[in-house]
Amino acid sequence: MRAEYQDGFVIVIRRFQPLDFQQVMEIEEEAFSEHNPYFYMQFYELNADTFLVAERGGNVLGFAVGLQVSGLGKVFSISVRKGYRGMGIGGMLLESLIRIFHNMGLAGVALEVRDSNYRARLFYEKHGFVRVGLCQNYYSDGENALLMRRVL
Ligand SMILES: CC(C)(COP(=O)(O)OP(=O)(O)OC[C@H]1O[C@@H](n2cnc3c(N)ncnc32)[C@H](O)[C@@H]1OP(=O)(O)O)[C@@H](O)C(=O)NCCC(=O)NCCS
């Protein structure tokens, strides 16, 4: 996927490559409190088709990590660099991932999101996800996760 903004700003969505690792870790660290670089290299080794980045002229501005669980696609994490949010980059990453899951013949996409992450919840709702449950004490700090799902 490729998007060209009016000011000539071009964003390309492509598969993650090991050279992106450091930039992905920077974005991950600024967004999430539970930071685990080891997961990401494992995702690359096991789910290279569903590990995507948004790139602009060599700079990684966001990433999305997906995997397959019990016949469903799962969004493990998605994040956009601060200062570049609200420009449609997260939406491009999410829709690209959903298209890949669809092409894999999966029936739906599931995810968990922090109860307090209002922006992300709105973002997912905007992309057709609906709340299907609640998982108590899901995160290590005791916060609940909302379970959301979208049919493909
Ligand atoms: C959630 C996230 C990935 C969305 O990416 P994004 O590039 O800002 O998303 P888009 O620009 O495609 O969509 C913006 C929509 O998301 C919501 N939104 C999320 N963050 C926003 C922000 N900082 N500014 C404006 N809108 C935001 C709004 O509902 C907005 O809808 P609108 O365009 O109708 O106003 C991004 O906010 C982010 O990286 N958050 C931190 C990490 C996180 O919480 N990830 C999700 C849990 S795994």
- pLDDT at residue 34 in the model: 74
Question: How, if at all, do strands 2-4 and 108-114 pair?
Answer: unpaired
Using the predicted structure, report yes or no on whether residue 128 has a pLDDT greater than 90: yes
Which tokens hold the place of 41?
Answer: 């290299």
In CATH, what number does 2-107 get? 3.40.630.30
How many angstroms from the chain centroid is the CA of residue 54? 11
Which tokens hold the place of 140?
Answer: 């290590």
Task: State how far the Cα of 102 lies from the Cα of 99, in Å rounded to an integer.
Answer: 5
How many percent of the chain have pLDDT more than 70? Answer: 99
Residues 31-49: what's their mean pLDDT? 85
Domain spans in the chain, listed from the N-terminal domain onward: 2-107
Contacts of 43 (CB under 8 A, 6+ apart): 51, 65, 67, 76
Residues 88-108: what's their mean pLDDT? 97
Residue with CA at minimum distance from ligand 1 atom 15:
123
Q: Is 78 in the pocket of ligand 1 (CB under 6 A)?
A: yes
Q: Is 133 in the pocket of ligand 1 (CB under 6 A)?
A: no
pLDDT-derived band at 7, boundaries 50, 70, 90: confident
pLDDT-derived band at 3, boundaries 50, 70, 90: confident
What is the tens place of the pLDDT at every residue in 75-85?
999 999 999 99
Candidate from 123, 127, 138 with most ligand 1 atoms within 8 A of CB, to mutate: 123
Q: Is 106 in the pocket of ligand 1 (CB under 6 A)?
A: no
Candidate from 13, 119, 143 with most ligand 1 atoms within 8 A of CB, to mutate: 119
- pLDDT at residue 81 in the model: 97
- pLDDT at residue 11 in the model: 94
DSSP H helices, 1-130, are: 21-31, 37-46, 89-103, 118-126
pLDDT-derived band at 41, boundaries 50, 70, 90: confident
Atom of ligand 1 nearest to the CA of 92: 12
